[in-house]
A = this chain, B = another copy of it.
């Protein structure tokens, strides 16, 4: 049995169906779509206590609690969301969805395209962070939420929170942007491209039609995840965790050597390839690469944020080299220059980009204190 003392407990995903055609940023129109989502905590009478959780590359709607009594693990951000936790379900009505193009129940590559009667597969249209904000706003309409008290996300989720303040300035009071960047660097794009190539060059990818062939690009997805994982961790945290500990063999005779870190990455990669859809992985990494809210503002981030009305909390972690504190500072500087209300902190943390998922005391103190203030305004 699960100890639910500080958990939202058993949750049941729900589905919202949108029957009107949706034209995406790429120009393609979907005849309609579905979004799967969960909520934690009650919406208050004035409907002013809703917060939206935006997920990152490999996340989904299941952010907190458990689906079944015998679940081994809770949702991906359970450490942060729940009664008495920084995102307090006693005070907020928390909405968490699987984004359009995902593989956990929302319309995506695994969905049957009603116009062809076949799965979208590799033909699912390109989706962008702007498309996600647009469809998240439609979900808010569906739920009767006019305005979010806060939109919150880490990594790619933080980019969605930023885009909300630009595209839906009247519908977001606070944006909490964690371990994000105003756009990807060439190095970020390069790592994503290697992950994509690993998937594309796996013969079991079958040009994206693997499900039709009852196959799965396990090895490509494994490589993509291994690579992602190394870039999420810091050099120091990997050293502390694995050092040069051997799993097997003997370095002195250079025989059959396997290091613990290799074994760990294999496990991570293999587990991921069983649960995640390759076409979705490609689509998510492209959304990351293409993200650039300044495109319609001549590349000027300050000008871009002039649309925004929200108040901001921007958080970063000292050892995060994927989206380093410098990248968060770019966001903060632009927000200040745009005369917006910004709080920010760089948290000492050993765990690299992954820190945003971990219950680091100062991180949770800062986040919790900020959200206390947001709750007090309700």
Contacts and interface: CB of A to CB of B under 8 A. Distances in A.
Interface in A235-253: 235, 238-239, 241-244, 251-253
Contacts of A190: 226, 230, 238, 261-262, 265
A194 B226 contact: yes
Interface in A187-214: 187, 189-191, 193-194, 197-198, 201-203
A136 B248 CA distance: 30
A187 B239 contact: yes
A253 B241 CA distance: 43
Nearest to A259: B189
A5 interface: no
Interface stretch (A46-54, A153-161, A290-298): A290-298
A128 B202 CA distance: 31
Contact of A230 (B24, B187, B201, B233): B187
Given A202-B201, A259-B289, A289-B259, A244 B184 contact: yes
B194 A251 contact: no
Contact of A186 (B184, B203, B219, B241): B241
A185 interface: yes
Interface string A253-285: 111010111100110000000000000000000
A252 B219 contact: no
A100 interface: no
B201 A254 contact: no
Q: Which residue among A126, A243, A244 has the maximum number of chain B CB atoms within 10 Å of its CB?
A: A244
Contact of A227 (B184, B185, B227, B255): B227
A25 B226 contact: no
Contact of A126 (B191, B219, B255, B290): B255
Interface string A60-82: 00000000000000000000000
Nearest to A27: B253
On chain A, which size bracket covers the interface? 35 or more
A286 interface: yes
Given A238-B185, A252-B296, A201 B226 contact: no
B194 A244 contact: no
A142 B296 CA distance: 68
A226 B203 contact: no
A131 to B, nearest CB: 8
A295 B194 contact: no
A222 interface: yes
Interface string A330-361: 00000000000000000000000000000000
Question: Top 8 nearest A-B pairs by Cβ distance?
Answer: A201-B219, A186-B238, A186-B242, A26-B254, A186-B261, A193-B262, A126-B254, A187-B235
Interface of A: 24-27, 126-128, 183-187, 189-191, 193-194, 197-198, 201-203, 219-220, 222-223, 226-227, 230, 233, 235, 238-239, 241-244, 251-255, 257, 259-262, 265-266, 286, 289-290, 292, 295-296, 321
Given A184-B244, A254-B286, 5 more contacts: A26-B255, A27-B255, A185-B235, A190-B262, A194-B226
